[in-house]
Amino acid sequence: MHKEALVGHPSTEARKPFYRILYIQVLIGVVLGVLTGHFWPEFGAALKPFGDGFVKLVKMMIAPIVFCTIVSGITSISDSREVGRTLVKSMALFYLLTVLALLAGLIAISLIQPGVGMHVSVSTLDPSVAAKFAKQAGASGFADFMLHIIPHSFFGAFADGEVLPVLLVSILIAFGLSRAGDGGVAVTKAIASFSHVLFVSFGLIMKLAPLGAFGAMAFTVGRYGVRSIGSLGLLILTFYLACSVFVVVVLGTLARLNGFSLWKTIRYFREELLIVLGTSSSEPALPGALRKLEQLGCRKGVSGLVLPMGYSFNLDGSAIYLTLASIFIAQACDIHLGWGQIGAMLGLMLLTSKGAAGVTGSGFVALVATLSVMPDLPVTGVALLVGIDRFMSEARALTSMISNCVAAITVSLWEDACDREVLDRELGQNGSVELPVGTKIAGATVMRDGKSWVSTTRSAA
């Protein structure tokens, strides 16, 4: 018998009941989490395992998905020099954005000056807070950072779950398969098939996203509460303002110069951004963002390489936080920093802002790593921020996520690895797919029926 289904226009998502759309479910989970944490704080704080469990489930899938995406993408590129160009252009863009992010935080904190007048004595600060996070700060030198990228073993890269070692292994295996000739064909096909299985499995995990967002927000509000903001509310406001200006001015300009809309891009990735908001981590959004970049017409070999790299080299939210938090500590403790000291601090932050995974608290760990080697600022000053850091982690993760998506599209366009027609159509129709007549999709043929796009499939009675 014949079964008819509309495809793309109107979009499948638009025909779903609103309560079955993922980003609506996540938004409801975030709102319920805030209300639960506010009115029943002890119960809300006890829901932390829901958020942590969801993030751990997603992190379990990150390494194999990144591996399969990068290997499949690079092996599909006939010219290996394209990979080198992509890496160089990506790193140049990442460092430019990082510098601008550091300056955005510096300008915001210098203009608003939320720490001036606090007159905090360094001797009264609790050193145990800094000591706790200093253990997580890891490598501080450039050589240590580069050596940290190399895993202890092939499978160690997947066991640790860090993006950079997986990235290194993926590139090596991809180039090996490209040069293996017929001997690598079977492995390449197997990796492509396994990638499909991984994304289907990830789709099942994402059904738990509303529950994860609910638990994470309930814990945040229940544990810290609005009262914990207190006199540091101006600092939080300054940080959110700096992030907003960076996104609107810097990323908006970058998108406009490359011929696409920042606002439509943010709307297109709304599901992923809401998950980031709910969990305070950008990692759960990585697989979904990789899939959507392909839907936007970006070639997997480029976007699949740029986006995972951005998770370690383009943490612009953390970069804004580093300058803002450091200067705030100086203001609060009545420490005057000259321009030479600030310049040295910015240079150091170009290193300490890299390499942290997109997990909750990575920005705070990077701050401790920075202050640990800065003789002019007391590392114990982080005790001033530990109570409100959770309220700032959402903005850090959201800013970095938006920046990485924009960067992936930009580099794809630079490399002529993005179908401009598909990009304009996808962003213009908010994710709907309008397919040409005669296109084959899983055995179905798209046909024109008035103003609708119809797919006819056969199924056994």
Written in H, E and C, the secondary structure of 270-321 is: HHHHHHHHHHCCCHHHHHHHHHHHHHCCECHHHHHHHHHHHHHHCCHHHHHH
**CA atoms within 13 Å, Cβ hemisphere of 175:** 10
Tokens of 232: 């540091």
Task: Find the domain containing 280 and state its range.
Answer: 2-458
State residue 122 phi and psi, 5-degree precision: -60, -35
Q: Answer whether residue 450 shows pLDDT above 60.
A: no
Q: Which residue has the higher pLDDT, 372 or 295?
A: 295
pLDDT for position 9:
39
pLDDT digits (tens, 9 = 90+) for 259-287: 999 999 999 999 889 888 888 778 888 88
Q: Answer whether residue 446 shows pLDDT above 60.
A: no
How many Å apart are CA 113 and CA 301, to the nearest integer?
44
Residue 149 identity (one-letter amino acid): I
pLDDT digits (tens, 9 = 90+) for 26-43: 888 888 988 898 889 889
| Per-residue pLDDT band at 229 (split at 50, 70, 90) | low
| Of the ranges 54-58, 254-258, 385-389, 424-428, the best mean pLDDT one | 254-258
CA distances from 351 to 97, 142, 289, 295, 313 (A): 14, 7, 26, 33, 9
| Per-residue pLDDT band at 227 (split at 50, 70, 90) | low
pLDDT digits (tens, 9 = 90+) for 111-123: 998 888 878 777 7
Our count of domains for the chain comes to 1
How is the beta sheet containing 440-441 ordered, strand by strand?
Answer: 2-6, 452-458, 444-449, 440-441
Tokens of 301: 């070999």
Residue 359 identity (one-letter amino acid): V
- Please classify residue 13 by burial: count the beta carbons closer than 10 Å to its beta carbon, then call 0-12 exposed, 13-18 middle and 19+ buried: middle
pLDDT for position 301:
82
CATH number for position 58: 1.10.3860.10
